[in-house]
Amino acid sequence: MNSIKKLFRPLFSVLASLLLIAAPAFAQSPTPIFGNQSVSLSLTVNASVSLVCTPSAITFSYTGGVGTASSQISCTFSYNVPSGYTFIDWAAYLAGGPTSGLSGPTAIPTSNIFSSNDGNSPVPCTINLPSIFGSTTGVGCYTLVPASSNVSGTSGSQTHTFLLSVNQSNLAAGVYTGSLNVVADIQ
């Protein structure tokens, strides 16, 4: 019996080795085929700008010939643009025209309406609008058309504040209304 074992032992070893080598070849396809297909991805982000102002309207309390605004108006211009944009232009102006910045029982001219811009001393709203905003005379409370670049990077924001006041004595009783146009451009 032992002699038979000794005789077949090398044969088993050879068969086992052949099985180990050959088995994977039977277990899978002889030529592997891999799926390979590319899917192109494309994302377009359009340039955009936004302008947000708080609050959307103000009222005045009138005492002793002076009208004090209920709050300042804060406006933020945000941009997300490609390279090549370097100027941001601003204007805040009264839509009623020079003789009627506020309309009511008596028209209040823009020369009697003031704006403290970004916390600076009040200036009358009689600035002439720059030509990019139509060149209307005597209605601007604030304008900014820089001579050098005021844009940093391709995205960001700028904020300006406007605190309006009225200085006109003996106003007739009644309701006075007006509109402050805030316009901003990037180019």
Interface ranges with other proteins (CB under 8 A)? 46-60, 69-71, 73, 75, 81, 84, 86-87, 89, 95, 102, 130-135, 145, 147-149, 164, 175-187
Strands 88-94 and 123-124: unpaired
Residue closer to other proteins (CB basis): 167 or 181: 181
Residue closer to other proteins (CB basis): 18 or 65: 65
Residue closer to other proteins (CB basis): 123 or 186: 186
Q: Residue 164 Cβ, how far from other proteins at the closest point, in Å?
A: 6
Q: Residue 40 Cβ, how far from other proteins at the closest point, in Å?
A: 22
Judge whether 97 and 125 are in contact, CB under 8 Å.
Answer: no
Judge whether 80 and 112 are in contact, CB under 8 Å.
Answer: no
**Tokens standing for 75?**
């406006």
**Tokens standing for 177?**
């209304």
Stretch (H or E) spanning 93: strand 88-94
How far is the first Cα of the chain from the last one, in angstroms, to the nearest whole number?
100
Residue closer to other proteins (CB basis): 124 or 185: 185
The CB density around residue 103, as the number of other CB atoms within 10 Å, is 16
| CA nearest to 160, candidates 47, 48, 51 | 51
Q: Residue 60 Cβ, how far from other proteins at the closest point, in Å?
A: 6
Q: Residue 49 Cβ, how far from other proteins at the closest point, in Å?
A: 6
Residue closer to other proteins (CB basis): 79 or 138: 79
Q: Residue 107 Cβ, how far from other proteins at the closest point, in Å?
A: 14
